[in-house]
Chain A
Amino acid sequence: MGTLRIETAKGKVAFEPGASLSGTASWTVAGTPRSAELRLIWYTRGKGTPDASIVDSVSFVTPRASDSRSFSFALPLGPYSFSGKLISLVWALELVVEPGPDVERFDLVLGPSGSEVLIGGAEAAHEGAR
């Protein structure tokens, strides 16, 4: 089992639509990876079948067993991060280093004023998401 890490510039986790998202992806795994990829994704959680979509991705060329790479994405205008009682949509960065089971995910908020949209009386359990 290796160590994977995603860090955004200045530790930022909340972004406005269309903003630039940059940072560093780093990993230490047992052998030389066949591939290393960072994906910008959204996924849903809730009562129904989970859904997900890869919006953008960057493949790191000739990854080493222990490596660190910078990245930058232009965030799309939507969909916004939102939560209701039945479904939540979450943006995230996902670092996948193959072969192996190593995956790291870093959740983000994409929304107006960098806030998650709460609908239908859903209450955020995280104080920081209010």
Chain B
Amino acid sequence: MEFTLTKYQNYSLLEISGRIDSYTAPKIDNVLHALISENHGNILIDLEKVTYISSSGILIFVNAQKSLTRKNRGKIHFSGTSELVHSAFSLAGFTGLFEFHENTSSAMEVL
């Protein structure tokens, strides 16, 4: 798993590639915690190059979203989510918690 973080004025863009599982999820969790504590507002997470996500991966996003909402600091937006990765969010019943966009360009238009 690799990621790139870019901070814009109104939001942060986190581009992730590879697997998000019990081994790699804590690394993403650290990045999200830092962003939320720094008050960077909305977080756009590009999942286009993510090949797999486990329940532990989904839960770090759920907890980050709850934390953002509690502190009234924005929302998590996803872009480029593949059908298979989206099916895991769907199976867990968490699709309603996030905004899903087709790609980063369409997401950036609303952020």
A binds B: no
